[in-house]
Amino acid sequence: MRTKPRKLRARPILAAVATAAVLSAVTISSHQQGSSETRATPQAETLRNAAGAVVVRDPETGELREPTPQELIELQLPPEPIFSLRALQTPSGPQPIVSESGLQGLQLGDEQMTFTVATRRADGTVGVTHAAGKTDAEQQVRAGARGLTAGKEQLLER
């Protein structure tokens, strides 16, 4: 299933973090109140797009756009988390994103990271090799020396 790219915000970082704190509080408040997904305001029509993200129809241009932080606060709708917070939570897979300047991108997660695994060989020495993502790394640790079976690491005795 294709996911609609999420647009990155270009707010100054200090202002963005401060705003995030405000919006986070709004999020909690909204969840506690069981807020509805769509609400109309005199200024902007509030909708959800195909990806479920909140958008508003600008009363002046008629075009759909992301709500401003002030509109979110006024609407008491769950805001989209600030990008830096989500980025540091290591999502599991590629998530489409679009930068403020229009660059298409993907947010990567643990399964796109390279993992190094060390295994003690029968002779007591330690070999270091790789795993494909967190899940594979954990499996390698459980299985032992799967990663030490090819190339110059492998010197068979019989």
Q: What part of residues 95-134 is at the interface with another protein (CB under 8 A)?
A: 96-97, 99, 101, 103-108, 110, 112-120, 125-134
Residue 148 within binding range of another protein, rule CB under 8 A: yes
Residue 35 within binding range of another protein, rule CB under 8 A: no
| Shortest CB 75 distance to another protein, Å | 21
Judged by beta carbon, residue 73 or residue 87, the one nearer another protein is 87
Alpha-carbon distance of 89 to 84, in angstroms, equals 9
| Shortest CB 147 distance to another protein, Å | 7
Judged by beta carbon, residue 48 or residue 120, the one nearer another protein is 120
Please choose, from the candidates 109, 100, 99, 97, the residue with its C-alpha nearest in 3D space to the C-alpha of residue 5.
Answer: 97
Residue 44 burial (CB count, 10 A): 21
Residue window 79-98: x/- pattern of binding to another protein, with contact defined by CB under 8 A: ---xxxxxxxxx---x-xx-
Provide CB contacts within 8 A for 51, sequence distance 6+.
3, 4, 6
CB distance 76 to 69 below 8 Å = no
Cα angle, residue 41 at apex, residues 36 and 43 outer, rounded to 5°: 145
Judged by beta carbon, residue 29 or residue 38, the one nearer another protein is 29
Judged by beta carbon, residue 72 or residue 131, the one nearer another protein is 131
| Shortest CB 52 distance to another protein, Å | 17
CB distance 85 to 77 below 8 Å = no
